[in-house]
Amino acid sequence: FVANQIQTLVGTTFFDTRHNQERAINYGDFGVLMRSVAGRGDVYLKVFSEMGIPTYFDGGTNYYESLEITMILNLLNLMDNQHQDLPLLSIMTSPIGNFSTTECTRLRIAHPQGFFYQAVEAYCREEGDELSQKLGGFYQKLTAWRYQSKLMAVEDFLWKIYLESGYYAFVGALPGGEQRQCNLRILLKRAGDYKKSTLKGLYQFIRFVENMKKHKQDISPPAMVSNHEAVVRLMTIHKSKGLEFPIVILSGAGKGFNKRSNYAQVLFHKDLGICPDYVNLEKRYKHNSLAKEVCKAQSNIEMLSEEMRLLYVGMTRAEEKLVIVGTVKNRDKAWQKWHNETDEYHLLNAASLLDWVMMGVLAGRDPTQTNLELADFKISYHQAEQFTDKRDLEEQRDSAEALSESGEGSENPEPMPEKCAISISQTDREAIHQRLDFRYPAKAENELPSKMSVTEIKDYQKGGVSDQQKKIRTLSKKREKPKFLEQKQTDFTAAQRGSALHLLMEVVDLKPIRDELLNNGQSVLPVFLEKYLAVEIEALIQKEFLPEALARTISLDKLIGFYTSTLGIRLLSAEKIRREIPFNYGYAPAEIRAEWVDIPEKIIVQGIIDCAFMEDHQWVIIDYKTDYFKDPRLREEIISGYEIQINLYAKALTALTGIPVKEKIIGLITMNENIIIE
């Protein structure tokens, strides 16, 4: 859009107040300003160049990151140490080496081991094709330069490779060529200054430059354009201070303000000091402290003040005409926002420079009008599709002309025959069928998930996961809190009650129960458990781990029944107890689905083992379940699914600890039953 605006205005006339006369607009009358050119300036420069607009870009990539300096530094690094693959590849694929990526790929395929430089040497020795001859010439050139770099001063060596490689001439032919050549001469001058220091040699010069880059001691090369040259100036608003242009295009006004610093865990302010989050270690949660909220508000005001100063500077650089360009994702939503009153609240909640401009222009006007043309200004709205790449438009036009000439787009095309008899040989027929019947051999690998949960594996082994199940799981992962913690309830589902019971068994301190068992025996354990577990439940309520109504649904009788059972006594008497053991373990795909037997890559399985205790130097795994069922057929199906899970747990625990699992038990807490899985 900006390039089109420039092309449209060039050649039209305006009254030049500087010279008090009417004259035609030329490219030198334009200043294109942006808040930031990072990641955008080079794009503008490329588009302007493609559309034939001469441009001077003041404020692009910093000196040491410019294309020409990066390339020469890569070459110097290669002279210092030939075993550096990235610098070598960058030189080979540049005009200095003139190798294509296909040729580099052929080279690496032929010699996949070792450094890339060793592959070049080996290919030159062993192969006799055209690529080998090309590599031989390149290798000889690098060898000669490396030898000369040890004998010559860095300044002299730099000038030698500028000329012999042809790179100095090459960058001069690129857009902004004069500036690029100026950058190379500055590096040459820096090498001359380096020669006068106590440091010597190419290695020390490279370290010297790297140190400059590390400490951001950048170089500002002189502008290679005069004030009277007919080129569009592209720069930041900040750099335009003190300058004026007959026509200013303030671009990128819709880009959002940068507020990322307000989301750091600790904020710093020159007046307010250090403003951290409030962290409650006992209840294990955090939120913004009052000091941090004040700091965010003050920093936001200061940031908006600076943005408003930038907007003022940008708008006042124009002498005759100002064009403000910005984009929005949702026009209707933005249009409604811009018609708000320009009070302090709405100004402070603006997200971009465009918001301020449009609120100032549209406040109090008819919100149904999207294009306005008044005495002092005009507002026009355009769809992004209107600015398709010029080359794409030309291709579409050429295609339309070709269709017109061939008659394919005419109103009365020649009717096609109903059947076309074509003679095809048997060989060709088989080749066609082979192509049409082709099945991608790695299709199963593409469908194979790289990471799965134990629950997903259980579903896969029982016949796969439906799209609906995947959707439900995705939604459940996004939910920050369980539903029963988000609202007050009195009627809870079996799953909610089961989750509460499972939480208590996860966090309850077993040491007091174990001590009571060892000191007073099993007979008094139920009485102790009734009082002790009630206290633990109250602790969960106080720490806000569970809402009180849900915590009251936990059945103490079921828990007492488990801890006083044979399995519970074994658990309390164990030499080592581990609960909530997280693991990530790689399983062979065939262990999950039989049809994945030919896939070599392993699947990372993620899960948490409820409980494991050590008995006779071997693990006993318990998987707690709160299901309740009476139907024997349903029981068999559910136990079969849990058997898959606990077998995966056993394999992972053995692999991770090196200790075998002697027993796997499913603890049906609500049914007072423990099932041993063979």
Q: Is residue 622 part of a domain?
A: yes
Q: Is residue 250 part of a domain?
A: yes
Strand 232-236 relative to strand 30-34, pairing: parallel
Same domain, 46 and 72: no
Q: Is residue 236 part of a domain?
A: yes
Same domain, 182 and 309: no
Name the one residue in this structure whose structure tokens are 């030939």.
82
Residues 622 and 611: beta-carbon distance below 8 Å: yes
Given 183, 214, 245, the domain boundary residue is 214
How far apart (Å, rounded) are the C-alpha atoms in residues 224 and 482?
64
How far apart (Å, rounded) are the C-alpha atoms in residues 159 and 185?
9
Rounded to 10 degrees, what is the CA torsion of 125, 128, 132, 133? Answer: 110
Residues 341 and 268: beta-carbon distance below 8 Å: no
* Domain assignment of residue 135, given as a range: 63-214
Q: Is residue 649 part of a domain?
A: yes
Number of structural domains (the chain) is: 3
Give the model's pLDDT for residue 420: 45
Same domain, 54 and 68: no
Same domain, 502 and 607: yes
Residues 514 and 532: beta-carbon distance below 8 Å: no
| Helix ranges, 578-631 (H) | none
How far apart (Å, rounded) are the C-alpha atoms in residues 146 and 460?
60
The H or E element containing residue 44 is helix 41-50
Given 295, 327, 359, the domain boundary residue is 327
Q: Is residue 219 part of a domain?
A: no
Same domain, 461 and 603: yes
Give the model's pLDDT for residue 213: 73
Q: 235-255 burial string, b = 16+ CB within 10 Å, else e?
A: bbbeebeeeebbbbbbbbbbb
Given 159, 186, 214, the domain boundary residue is 214
How far apart (Å, rounded) are the C-alpha atoms in residues 664 and 625?
13
CATH code of the domain covering residue 560: 3.90.320.10
Same domain, 140 and 247: no
Same domain, 129 and 43: no
How far apart (Å, rounded) are the C-alpha atoms in residues 591 and 597?
8
Q: Is residue 580 part of a domain?
A: yes
Q: Which residues does the chain have with pLDDT short of 70?
A: 58-63, 175-176, 198-199, 215-229, 364-377, 381, 384-424, 437-450, 458-491, 594-595, 632
Give the model's pLDDT for residue 660: 93
Same domain, 50 and 79: no
Give the model's pLDDT for residue 614: 93
Q: Is residue 12 part of a domain?
A: yes
**Joined tokens for residue 295:** 């700091």
Q: Is residue 485 part of a domain?
A: yes
**Joined tokens for residue 510:** 């077993």
Give the model's pLDDT for residue 123: 85
Same domain, 136 and 250: no
Give the model's pLDDT for residue 483: 44
Same domain, 262 and 164: no
Same domain, 84 and 189: yes
Same domain, 76 and 14: no
Angle of CA points 666, 667, 668, to nearest 5° = 110
CATH code of the domain covering residue 13: 3.40.50.300
CATH code of the domain covering residue 129: 1.10.486.10
